[in-house]
Amino acid sequence: MSTRIAKEEMAIMMPGSIGHYFKDDLADMPATEPRGPGLFARLGAGLAFIASLPRRRAVLNELYSLSEHELADIGLTRAELPLVFDADFAAKRREARPANQNARQPNGRPLAA
């Protein structure tokens, strides 16, 4: 006979023995540390970055081919070109950019402030 006995049943059948080892109290268990992304997530992110390199290089080449006047029209300087793909740089630019007072909706009405 091979009857399976639950942990709780075993603890009841053997009072005063090792039954306390079978209790799964959350208070007794150590807290788990939060984990970062797994191996495959990191590998996927790395491969996605490598796959985006040709597109980034093409954008940078196009920006480097612009004149100083054209760069000033889009709000960049030549020194800022290597930072174009930096997320912190983009966030700072968004915060520092003044609202366009002449912006219009597709129907021609001014945007609500």
**32 lies in a domain?**
no
Q: Is the pTM of this model over 0.75?
A: no
Reported residue count of the chain is: 113
Range of the domain at 66: 37-97
What integer is the mean pLDDT of 104-108?
68
4 in any annotated domain: no
Alpha-carbon span 38 to 78, nearest angstrom: 38
Task: Give the residue, 60 or 108, on which the prediction is more confident.
Answer: 60
Task: State residue 47's pLDDT score.
Answer: 96
Q: How confident is the model at residue 60 (pLDDT cuts 50, 70, 90)?
A: very high
Say whether pLDDT at 62 is over 90: yes
The total number of structural domains that make up the chain: 1
Summarised one tens digit per residue, pLDDT across range 7-50 is: 666 666 665 555 555 555 556 666 777 788 889 999 999 999 99
Q: Does 104 reside within a domain?
A: no
Residues with Cβ within 8 Å of 28's Cβ and at least 6 positions away in sequence, in order, are none
pLDDT at 63 over 90: yes
| Contacts of the segment 51-60: beta carbons below 8 A, 24+ positions apart | 56/85, 59/84, 60/84
Does residue 83 lie within any of the structural domains?
Answer: yes
Q: Supply 46's token pair.
A: 């790395």
The answer to whether residue 89 sits within a structural domain is yes
What value, to the nearest 5°, has the Cα angle with vertex 23 and ends 21 and 24? 115
The answer to whether residue 46 is domain-embedded is yes
- Of 89, 84, 92, 87, nearest in space to 58 by CA: 84
